[in-house]
Every structure is written in C-alpha cells, then in structure tokens.
Structure 1
Amino acid sequence: MGAIDHLAIETLGADDACDGLALSGEARWNQNEADWRFFLTRGTVFGIRDGDGHLIATAALLPYSSGNAWISMVLVTQSWRRRGLATKLLDTCLDAAAKQGVTAWLDATPAGATVYGPLGFAPTLELRRLRFAGSATAPELASDGNLDEMIARDRHAMGFDRSALLRELSRRSGSQLISHGSAMALIRGGRTARHIGPLFADDAGSATALVETIAQSETGPILIDVVSEHDELLMNLTNSGWSIERPFQRMRFGRATIQNAEPPIAVAGPEYG
C-alpha cells in the first residue's frame, strides 16, 4: 500500500469528463461523455492522479432521494491496478455516504463482488446483461411513452425517486420512450451500444414483445440488464438471438431503506441502478 500513500484523492469537476471517459473506455464500458457529465454535476466523483497529473482512478457517489445513493464508476487504469486504489476510493465514497446519512448501493461485477462483500456490502438481487447485434433492417420506431408514467413506475419499483435522472436520460439526443401494451422502456445511446432500461411490464410476454420491437428497430448493438428472476424473459431473449454477456450483483451497504419495492424488469444500468 505504501506505493499509493502519496497519491491524493481529489473531487473532480465537469472539466474532467473526457479524462473519465478515457478510463471507462479503456475498461470497455459503455458510458459516454453525457453519463460522465451527469455524475460530475449531479453526484460527487473522487479521483486520483499520477505524478504527471493524469487521471488514473475514479469512484462516484450519486445521491438519490429517501436516504439512498449509488456508488459507481469505480475505475483504475491498467498500469495502476491491484495496488489498492479502488479500495481507497471506495472507502472515500463510504465515508461521504456516512456523513450524508445515506445507504449506499452498487451493482458489482463478479470480481468486484468478491471485494465488496468483505467490506460489509450485502447482496440483494442479481442482474444479467444481454447483448443483441442489431437488425439488418431497421424500421423507424417512434417514441410514444409517457415520461411522467415512467417516473411513477420507477419510483414504485425502486422505492425512491429518480425523476432527475430519468428526465435527463430521456432528453438526450437519440433517446426514446417506447411502450407496448403494459410494457414501457427507455432507450438511450452509449459509447459502443444503445441501452434499454429501465423497462417495466406486467408480464414476460409484454416485456418480450417490447424488447423485440426495439431490437428490430436498431441496426447497431443493444444492451439490456435484466433482473435475473425473470427467467421467462431471459429464455425468450436468448432464444431470439440475444447473448448473455455478464452478470452483476446488486449490493447494499447500510440499513435497508426500501419497503415492498418491486424491481423493474430491466434496470437503468449498473452505473445508475
């Protein structure tokens, strides 16, 4: 740990979006510059630079309502990994969460979960990330969803309000709100793929029909992070050409703040919850 003791942690600003994007791009994550700017302006992003001033590690704490916050963008550049930088930044996020009196959540990769568990994070639900290559023919899909309805459904599903996030995501260039029967989803752009989520539906059939409608309207790759308990939807998607890319483990640090919440069919993304 001595090799990193001299490296100071700083709070990053909006001008650091491109440096953050370089880190997530190196890790082959899907976040784009708009995602980074949201974290840098709506949350607190902690960073560490090397002796030459290059950003080498980050971690973000994004506050939501009702005493909840999301930890994400935990990144370390390749040449500085396995030296304790991620743990150092995670501890900083947890200290900030404690001072704010909020419960911290995160969606961890399998490797990350092995680190976060011993630190006191408790597992909750699991996610499965699926990828679709895109359709050869892509008829135009018109937005027909109602943002206020999505915000209400998201509040019911998450147990707290994320209206600022959903309004910002929906206003981005290329974003769409699509509905089909009881199902509704937000589609937005990413660095390398479009992303579906959050997605709400009363049943697997409606969710499947909506996702397939979206898939046939996209020529490029698409990602969706499905709550793993929705076995029928996962089976339907894999049978229609989607591939499971990786799992995520949702984890919580601190007291439970959510009562009787019903998670969405698919989430907004591991960076947002």
Structure 2
Amino acid sequence: MFERNQVLGEKKMKEPHQLSIVQLNEEDIPGLITLSDSVGWDYDKEEIHTILSSGFIYGHKSEQGEIVSSAAVIQYDSVLASVGMVIVHNGFRRMGLANELMEKCIHTVSDRMPIMLIATEEGEPLYKKIGFTTVASVQKHLCHRFEPIPLAIEHNQSLEIYTNSDFSALHQLDRLAFGGSRETFLEKRIDQAEECILLKENNRIIGYGMAVRAPATLKIGSIVAPHSDAALLIIGKLAQNRKETLRLDIPSDQKNLSARLAPYGFQKVNEPPVMMFNGLKMPERNRTLYAIAAQIFG
C-alpha cells in the first residue's frame, strides 16, 4: 500500500497548458452537470449541492474555464471517508488527471482514514494501482414498472411520514447501520428527498427510507430496516404509484433482499466493487443497511 507522502501511481506528462486542481463550489454546479452529462451520468443541481454541503469537490479547468474533471470526497465522523464523482472529460483523458484528483482526495481527509469508493469498470484498474482493495460489492437494481405485492404489517407497527422532530432518532438508527455518524449528510439528504418515511414500532423508529429524484431515475435509499420484510415494506411504500424508473443499490451482504426483488419488477443490471484504501473492511455495522443513498455517498 502506498504511504501518504508517496506519489500515488505513475503520473503521465501533462500537455503544455499545465492544468491545476481547483476546489469547486456552487458557482461550478452548471459546469459539473455538463461534465456529468458528457459521460452519461445523471448528477443534477440538487445532488451536487448535497455533495458540496457534505464534503469537497475538486477538478481541473481548461484554459477556457471549462470543468474537464472532477472528484468528490466526503468524511463521515472519524471512521470513514467516501470518494466518488470521479469523472474526466473524454478530450482530457490519459493525462493523469484522475490520478491527481485521487491523490488530492486522499490527502484531504485525516491521516490513515479508511477511504471507500464504488468503482466503475473503467476506473477499477487505477484504484487498484493506487492501493485500493476490493472488500465487497453493491448490486444495482432497476425497475421500469413496479409491481406492488401486499405485505402484512405488524399490528404494533406503522409507516409514517418523517417530521423534523424525528431527526435525532433517525440519525441514531443510521449511525449504527452505516457504522459512523453522517449527520450533516442526512440533514441535506432529507431536505433533498422527495419522500422520507419511517417504520415505527410502538411509536419507536425502527427503520426509514428515502426516495430522491434524479434526471433518469427515482433513487430509493438509504433504506435502514430490522430485517428484509421490513425493508420491502418501506420500498413498497416509496415505490407505490410511481411511473418512472426506480433504482436500488443494495449492499452485497443483503442477499435475502436482492433475491426477493424480481417479482416487484426489479432486475439486477450491475454489481460494481466496493474498494477500500487504508483498510481491508468496512466499519462495524449492524447489518440493517439494506440500500445505500447513492454510490458516491457509500
């Protein structure tokens, strides 16, 4: 594994314009959306705003001021950081820009901080070269037509709409599921969500789920639940009467949920690797995280 004071991988010679890394801000959101569109990704204004509110986005700009690369890093508590949104414009590849951005992200967080990312097929060789190790995977499921299947709910349970007074209990539930506090992210994500619902038992929160609109899909997640039946209850509530394509990203250790999704209309379309730097496993979790918010957020 590379030390933090070593060069991360071999850097290729830049072209004469000598692009430099800059920290991006809200004024750069339109340029980041254009960059995302150029590679077929669906970052929009609200998603990028949540990233900026929770962490940092870096990138390179051309001589004309065009954003030609990006990478984001978000630190959760003192236990984990997540890297994502690693994009390089087609016209500026093979210049070492992604390598430089990864180095910048790694040096942004605390020394020896475990860092995770969910790799694309194209990016995986670079991450391996830097020193990332595959520790798990995430199953991406899409549903073009949701088929509701009624599930019984316990007599002492209820599905309710989130209110601000529920935040403290939701945050505590999420902290145990995720393996660390991500309070700022949760506040911003709830504001961004089209819908946030709670599963309560005897008026105590035991699960939650969000639906967040993206340009191409409605993302369902995070989902935290005590078991897969409860996760399906939450998913069904968020997905009911939806006409758009739905997306679920499910951790690989939740095989029971993945195996039960097909009758609802979900199909697994991809299973990208979860990779770690400065660590060989994820933080301690209680196995109640059934769907992640999005790949960039871990």
TM bucket (normalised to shorter chain) is 0.7 to 0.9
1:216 matched to 2:240: yes
Cross-structure match for 1:203: 227
Cα deviation 1:114-147 (Å, max 9, x = unaligned): 321221112222110111114599xxx9725744
Q: Identify the match of residue 58 of structure 1 among 70, 77, 80.
A: 70
Partner of 1:143: 161
- Structure-2 separation of matches of 1:101 and 1:240: 42
Ranges in structure 1 where 5+ consecutive residues have no aligned partner:
none
Match of 1:164 among 160, 184, 187: 184
For 1:79 and 1:91, the matched residues in 2 are separated by 21
> In the alignment, what sits opposite 2:254?
230
State the identity %. 21
TM-score (norm 1): 0.87
Q: What's the TM-score once normalised by structure 2's chain length? A: 0.80
Looking at structure 2, the residues matched to 178 and 222 of structure 1 have their Cα atoms a distance apart, in angstroms, of: 19
5 Å-filtered alignment, 1:62-211, equals 62-97=74-109, 102-135=113-146, 143-144=161-162, 146-172=166-192, 174-179=194-199, 183-211=207-235
How far did 1:220 drift?
1.0
Classify 1:176/1:67 alpha carbon distance in 2 versus 1 (closer, same or farther; 3 Å). closer
Aligned residues: 269
Q: CA deviation at 1:11?
A: 1.2
- Residues 13, 41 of structure 1: 8 Å contact kept: no
In the alignment, is the contact (CA less than 8 A) between 2:223 and 2:291 conserved in 1? Answer: yes
State the secondary structure of the residue aligned to 1:213.
Answer: helix
After TM superposition, the structure 1 stretch with the greater mean CA deviation from structure 2, 70-79 or 212-221, is: 212-221
- The one-character-per-residue Cα deviations of 1:205-239 (angstroms, maximum 9, x if unpaired) are 22223323322231211111001222221121123
Cα distance in 2, alignment partners of residues 228 and 131 from structure 1 = 16
3-state SS of paired residue (2:259) = helix
Inter-CA distance 175–210: structure 2 relative to 1 (3 Å threshold): closer
Whichever residue aligns with residue 220 of structure 1, its letter is E
Structure 2 alignment gaps of length 5 or more = 1-11, 149-158
Report the more deviating stretch, 159-168 or 258-267: 258-267
Shift of 1:83: 3.1
SS in 2 for 1:82: coil
